[in-house]
Amino acid sequence: MVRKFSLLAVAAVLGSSLAAQTSVPNVIFRAKCDTGLPRFEDWYRETRLGGGEPYVAVEGRKQHLMNNYPKLKLQMSVADVEKLLGKPDFATGTPVPRLADAPEPADTRCNVQTAYILRKNGENMTDTEDIAIYLSFARNGKLFWAAPQNVPNLKPVGSPTDTTPVLTQQDGPTWKEYVFAADGFAITLPANPHPHPDATLPDVTVYTVSLPPNANLSLRVSHQDRDCASTLAQLKEGGLQGKANIDPASVKDVAVAGHQGVEYQYKVSPNFTSSDRFYCVNGKFYIFSIRWLGNEEQPSTATRVVGSFRPLNNESSR
């Protein structure tokens, strides 16, 4: 999941964040998303993991998953996948994040990730040692990414960045600087980001690209005037408190052309890492949301894009 306004996440991600979402007071809102499927907490209580005993799927379920996984096809619905694989152990929905003072989104559908656990040794939901199959469904309910974890006989299906056509549309492989005077910035990208109004936040313009090898990046520009110092302080405070799955150790101050900002990272599923970076330029907020596959550092392509960002109006921020 890409995260709308990604204040990612999150990421989600847009994305999109298999953990319960909370909110950073006065700044970020991330409601829980009801998928109609069991939550991790529900599944965990039914296992003996709390007593220190590993969970191991019964042999019949394991063989059913192994035999039927190769039959998965992209764009299958959640219901179609359940007919093929059975009911998942648990699921998490990634809702549309928004600023606390932004209007309620009209479209409340969520990205959904389902989990089929073959073996788990502890209570860490995103343990990279787990043996599992994770499936990601876009907000339209269609499968776009199937990711076996520590199951060498099964191969991934789809792509973590193919959630919508705008994420995969490419104008060519040549990196170049794009200037967006209306939103007051320039940036270097490998493809046209096709700016468009956010479907649920009318005062926000979205710029989105896929980045090799396995990341996507969205830049959201809020046209609502805000006090830079107080809003950034609230964002930083919420991150340091570990709100919304944010890693407090990742919170750091950033700046561009004399304008202050803040950045942090968070995990929203075992397969993806996400980061948000906020710049405030004369009351206007620029929000980078990046989501990439794996637990490694942010891809160099994403670092290159963020590093190329430059405000066109280089006045002192408020």
pLDDT at 194: 84
Residues 297 and 177 in one domain: yes
* Total domain count, the chain: 2
In a 10 Å sphere around its CB, with 0-12 CB exposed, 13-18 middle and 19+ buried, how is residue 155 labelled? Answer: exposed
Domain boundary among 124, 158, 192: 158
Beta carbons within 8 Å of 91's beta carbon, 6+ residues apart: 18, 35, 37, 38, 39, 112, 113, 114, 115
Residues 138 and 215 in one domain: no
Residues 46 and 140 in one domain: yes
In a 10 Å sphere around its CB, with 0-12 CB exposed, 13-18 middle and 19+ buried, how is residue 130 labelled? Answer: buried
For 194-218, write each residue's pLDDT tens digit.
888 876 677 889 998 888 777 889 9
pLDDT at 174: 77
Residues 71 and 95 in one domain: yes
* Closest alpha carbon to 278 in 315, 211, 231: 231
For 114-165, write each residue's pLDDT tens digit.
999 999 998 888 777 899 999 988 878 899 889 898 998 999 888 665 554 3
| pLDDT score of 8 more than 70 | no
Residues 143 and 180 in one domain: no
Calculate the average pLDDT of the chain.
80
Indicate the pTM of the whole model.
Answer: 0.55
The three-class DSSP label of residue 51 is: helix
Q: What residues make up the domain containing 124?
A: 28-158
Residues 176 and 301 in one domain: yes
Token pair listed for 214? 């396995």
Domain boundary among 126, 158, 190: 158
Q: The CATH number of the domain where 250 resides is what? A: 3.40.1000.10
Percent above pLDDT 90 for the chain: 44
Beta carbons within 8 Å of 206's beta carbon, 6+ residues apart: 195, 196, 197, 198, 218, 219, 220
Q: Is residue 318 part of a domain?
A: no
Domain boundary among 141, 158, 175: 158
